């Protein structure tokens, strides 16, 4: 099976039926292979093709370019395929992913309502420096996702998730023990680096275990709800703990909470098909003594040069070469930056003697709760849309076959609602107006924010998985080995939005002092409204953009080759069984 190098990885050319192709025989011929995999009438799952002298020169053949290699595959019919795992095992994967995302996002805004106590302890008076405990964490979000996402695609999901979560827990505890302001900021930066792994990897993990787009969309809804509810739960937590005990216990409680979730991460099974194939190949080599059995991914030379030039640069190539990725990242970055600017704007409105409503840290933290309520409501809206979409698909409505029409309508609602919520907050937060008026704007803000992110991230993942059109069912059910660029796309999206999440809050105090609450919020709302045109643009031109995309054409060719290979092997399987 020949391979050719592309900017996004290695492309396999179509398999041609020839005398160099072989199929592993049932257990009678190859001892040690599990018999239940060879039931009569089923396609032979452990299929091997012999590749002679056709491995790309950039890949590792360990000096054996003239020797035959038996390359195993993991078809959908195999019980070890992640799509075929039990509901219990998939629930463990879902729970582990949600927990890590909650811890990660909770940590991002953890110091928000404890800042005044931290500043007093370390004698910090600069307004810009008061933003740094959150900004330093988000700075870790900027760099790490473009590393964690590709590494999870190269070495597997579990090692990246487990190592990063352990380090995140340790450095959260280090924040509680920080002796100086500088050390606290450094530990916060390290927390952000290691907390970024779930943000970059969990969407890829959910894609690994769910080939059905509808199921994958629902799991992404849970993922997005966790990314929104985590940050808004931190202000009341930090406010009440810091004003009643000490700010150090804010981080201590977070570290203890994270340690209780560690067993779920330890039990998280590996979901990445190439890694599962590598493990299967190693097991078969041991059981059969045949050292020529290998997985396709094992033939690739994962040298430092390969990792740096192909794996690590893939997210940036997608950002600069793919219009859908770049414009989606731009829109989400603004929405995300405004979201984290709220952690500076809300204290200006609600917290302390100089604010409009003069609340204590704990009570002021409760004003974030409506944003979480809005996020939950948005999850319900997504599920209703999912039901409506499924019914449209069943009656074969033409619009339901287009990726843009299936994914983006929620963003058409969420974008204007998001901008309206910012205006609502700005013009209702003033003396003489009942506190519920500005606080209630958080509900629509949470709804709009969630609808935008669910629609745009699902669209981004969908175009990474299924770039040109909705593929026929037999093909979409065999694509898990190629649903791997989602982590890179999500990783660069996370990097871009985290960058604005760092920068926007730095100017929050000056902007609100100069323009006032009303006009500062109005400026943000007008920017959000302008970029809210992005999903409308995709609705009209998205299909043409994907059809002309070099990256999407590459994936389309890979999908077609995979289907051709699968059909040929299923024809050969019964003849050799």
Span 337-388, pLDDT tens digits: 999 999 999 999 999 888 999 999 999 999 999 999 999 999 899 989 888 9
Distances (CA, A) of 159 to 269, 296, 302: 10, 20, 16
Residue 223, H or E segment = helix 213-244
How far from each other are the two terminal CA atoms of the chain, in whole angstroms? 23
The residue assigned the tokens 């018999």 is: 35
Strand 48-51 to strand 3-6: parallel, antiparallel, or no bridges (unpaired)? unpaired
State yes or no: pLDDT of 181 exceeds 90.
yes
Q: Indicate the SS3 state at residue 85.
A: coil
Burial 235-252 (b: 16+ CB within 10 A, else e): bbbbbbbbbeeebbbbbb
468 CB-near residues (< 8 Å, 6+ apart): 546, 547, 552, 553, 556
pLDDT at 494: 74
Return the beta strands (E) in 234-366 as ranges: 293-295
pLDDT at 487: 59
Give φ, ψ of 496 to 5 degrees. Answer: -65, -45
Whether the Cβ atoms of residue 136 and residue 175 lie closer than 8 Å to each other: no
Task: Tell me the average pLDDT across 314-320.
Answer: 76
pLDDT tens digits along 216-241: 777 877 788 888 888 999 999 999 99
Task: Tell me the average pLDDT across 287-294.
Answer: 86
The C-alpha torsion from 563 through 484 and 94 to 210, rounded to 10°, is -10
Task: Tell me the average pLDDT across 239-268.
Answer: 95
pLDDT at 171: 97
pLDDT tens digits along 298-313: 776 566 666 665 666 7
pLDDT at 65: 43
What is d(CA 266, CA 165) in angstroms, rounded to the nearest whole number? 10
pLDDT at 573: 55
Task: Tell me the average pLDDT across 325-330.
Answer: 88
pLDDT tens digits along 10-62: 444 333 333 333 333 333 333 333 333 333 333 333 334 333 333 333 333 44
The residue assigned the tokens 């995300």 is: 336
Q: Which residue, 496, 534, 379, 388, is CA-closest to 449?
A: 379
What is d(CA 331, CA 145) in angstroms, rounded to the nearest whole number? 18
The C-alpha torsion from 147 through 457 and 422 to 116, rounded to 10°, is -30
* Helix 409-428 with 508-531: angle, nearest 10 deg: 150
Q: Indicate the SS3 state at residue 395.
A: coil
State yes or no: pLDDT of 78 exceeds 50.
yes
The residue assigned the tokens 């080939």 is: 211
Strand 69-72 to strand 48-51: parallel, antiparallel, or no bridges (unpaired)? antiparallel
């Amino acid at each position: 099976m020949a391979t050719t190098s592309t900017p996004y990885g290695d492309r396999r050319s179509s398999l041609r039926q020839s005398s160099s192709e072989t199929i592993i025989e049932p257990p009678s011929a190859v001892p040690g292979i599990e018999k239940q995999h060879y039931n009569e009438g089923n396609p032979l799952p452990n299929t091997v093709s012999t590749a002679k002298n056709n491995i790309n020169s950039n890949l590792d053949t360990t000096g054996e370019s003239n020797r035959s290699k038996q390359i195993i595959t993991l078809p959908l019919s195999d019980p070890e395929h992640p799509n075929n795992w039990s509901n219990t095992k998939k629930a463990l994967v879902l729970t582990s992913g949600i927990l890590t995302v909650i811890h990660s996002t909770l940590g991002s805004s953890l110091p928000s309502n404890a800042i005044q106590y931290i500043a007093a302890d370390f004698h910090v008076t600069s307004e810009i420096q008061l933003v740094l405990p959150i900004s330093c964490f988000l700075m870790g979000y900027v760099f790490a996702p473009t590393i964690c996402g590709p590494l999870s695609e190269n070495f597997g999901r579990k090692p990246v998730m487990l190592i990063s979560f352990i380090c995140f827990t340790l450095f959260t505890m280090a924040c509680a023990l920080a002796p100086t302001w500088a050390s606290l900021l450094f530990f916060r930066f390290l927390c952000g680096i290691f907390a970024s792994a779930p943000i970059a990897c969990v969407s890829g993990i959910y894609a690994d275990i769910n080939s059905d787009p509808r199921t994958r969309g629902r799991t992404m809804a849970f993922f997005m709800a966790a990314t929104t509810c985590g940050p808004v739960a931190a202000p009341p937590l930090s406010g009440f703990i810091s004003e009643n005990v000490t700010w150090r216990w804010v981080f201590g409680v977070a570290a203890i909470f994270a340690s209780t979730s560690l067993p779920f991460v330890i039990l998280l099974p590996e979901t990445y098909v190439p890694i599962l194939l590598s493990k299967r190949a190693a097991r078969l080599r041991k059981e059969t003594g045949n050292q020529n059995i290998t997985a396709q991914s094992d033939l690739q030379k994962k040298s430092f040069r390969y990792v740096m030039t192909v794996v690590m640069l893939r997210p940036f190539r997608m950002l600069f070469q793919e219009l859908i990725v770049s414009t989606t990242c731009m829109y989400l970055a603004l929405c995300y930056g405004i979201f984290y600017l709220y952690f500076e704007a809300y204290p200006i409105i609600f917290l302390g003697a100089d604010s409009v409503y003069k609340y204590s840290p704990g009570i002021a933290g409760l004003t974030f709760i409506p944003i979480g309520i809005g996020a939950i409501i948005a999850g319900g809206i997504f599920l209703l849309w999912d039901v409506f979409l499924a019914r449209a698909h069943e009656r074969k409505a033409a619009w339901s076959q287009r990726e843009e029409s299936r994914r983006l309508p929620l963003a058409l609602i969420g974008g204007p609602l998001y901008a309206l919520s910012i205006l609502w907050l700005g013009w209702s937060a003033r003396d003489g107006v009942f506190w519920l008026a500005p606080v209630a704007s958080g509900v629509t803000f949470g709804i709009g924010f969630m609808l935008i992110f669910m629609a745009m991230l699902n669209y981004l993942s969908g175009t990474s998985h299924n770039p040109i059109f909705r593929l026929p069912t037999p093909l979409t059910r065999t694509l898990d080995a190629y649903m791997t660029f989602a982590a890179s796309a999500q990783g660069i999206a996370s990097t871009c939005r985290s960058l604005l999440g760092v920068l926007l809050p730095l100017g929050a105090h000056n902007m609100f002092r100069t323009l006032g609450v009303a006009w500062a919020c109005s400026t943000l709302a007008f920017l959000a409204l302008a970029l809210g045109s992005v999903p409308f643009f995709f609705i009209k031109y998205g299909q043409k953009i994907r059809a002309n995309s070099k990256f999407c054409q590459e994936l389309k060719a890979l999908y077609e080759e995979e289907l051709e290979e699968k059909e040929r092997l299923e024809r050969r399987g019964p003849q050799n069984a």
